[in-house]
Structure 1
């Protein structure tokens, strides 16, 4: 596929891959990257409008840009009674975001920053600040991040410090309550959101 698109004499160097609305998973993106490298090209940035593609690229450590949907297309509506609030960009030290429902941060949460939601907290970036899921008492809420290394985690009334070990490469992690303690494990990405 890549060989056909590049022709017999492809250019060399960095490349921005614009996926548009295509949904590309980790496996397919890895194969495309291998073919690009075989042709002497290095993927410098992944640009897309699909959140799943953004997560797959970010999980592999690529610089990713999530573009707005194309003009004229409507974003998918949240299920009734389950609001999902989206924040695009890095949340810096001293900044706080608190929402009713689930919170999706497309960016990093830096040390000194705080995010909280009555439902799930999803971070498509690095969590290095403080996150509180289920802030109104929803014990089934969870915190998911591409890199989960917070100062502090809270789920409902449970509190824990972040792990000391470096995060596993390419593994999205989640924190959830198990027997009244916060446990970190590989994320269940197909699980429905809890909006609190």
Structure 2
């Protein structure tokens, strides 16, 4: 899994950039960031959550330069590694020591912990008929969204389960927001101001699906193999 880029929930707040756990990684932090940013990330300030990556001053300077080329300004580094914090401070960046992970978490749980810090709302459990959930930023539902339930987010809607109710991503007009689910068969989809009914055909076996806006229309397709999104 590459780095995860989470756009700011509103103007004036920084974007969040999370590196995956370093264990068993063969590439550099910069390579992870390049894959995670995708082709057109939004501009603005960025907070880097580097976890257990030991980033030297030259490595941080290179990463900072790449972000600058993409109109992104690195303003803060959160890390568990002293070398990284020292290098970031030498660049004049704000630094913060990240808490150590709980005993024995897997990479998914560690990412959930750091995503939670990065203004992603995490809902553990199924949304049932009559439930209406609206959040700032993006939302991750660890469960199903049943018929009669509705979930809305200013950013992305991510569902590690079946979407059979109503989902609205980019509910304040963000046409770049996406809806991702393990099974995407909703009563209704909304992205920004666009509205569509869910597909009637059975979902493709073995694929996570996403809905995104293409030329003003909502397109449903297999999701990229990045968690939670490939931008």
TM-score class normalised by the smaller sequence: 0.5 to 0.7
- 2:150 aligns with 114
Matched, 1:78 2:78: no
- 2:212 aligns with 176
Shift of 1:83: 1.5
TM-score for the superposition, normalised by structure 1: 0.59
Matched, 1:92 2:123: no
Describe how 1:1-196 pairs up with structure 2 within 5 A: 70=102, 76-78=113-115, 82-190=118-226
Q: Are the equivalent residues in 1 in contact too, given 2:143–2:162 (CA < 8 A)?
A: yes
Q: For each residue in 1:14-62, what CA deviation from the matched residue of structure 2 results, as whole angstroms up to 9, or x when unmatched?
A: xxxxxxxxx9xxxxxxxxxxxxxxxxxxxxxxxxxxxxxxxxxxxxxxx
Relative to its length, the structure with more helix (as a share) is 2
Shift of 1:193: 5.2
In structure 2, distance between residues paired with 1:141 and 1:76:
22
TM-score for the superposition, normalised by structure 2: 0.50
Runs of 4+ in 1 over 3 A off after TM superposition: 69-76, 191-194
Question: Which segments of 5 or more consecutive residues in structure 2 lack a partner in the other structure?
Answer: 1-22, 24-100
Q: Are the equivalent residues in 2 in contact too, given 1:102–1:193 (CA < 8 A)?
A: no
The residue matched to 1:78 in structure 2 has which SS? helix
- RMSD after superposition: 2.7
Q: Are the equivalent residues in 1 in contact too, given 2:158–2:228 (CA < 8 A)?
A: no
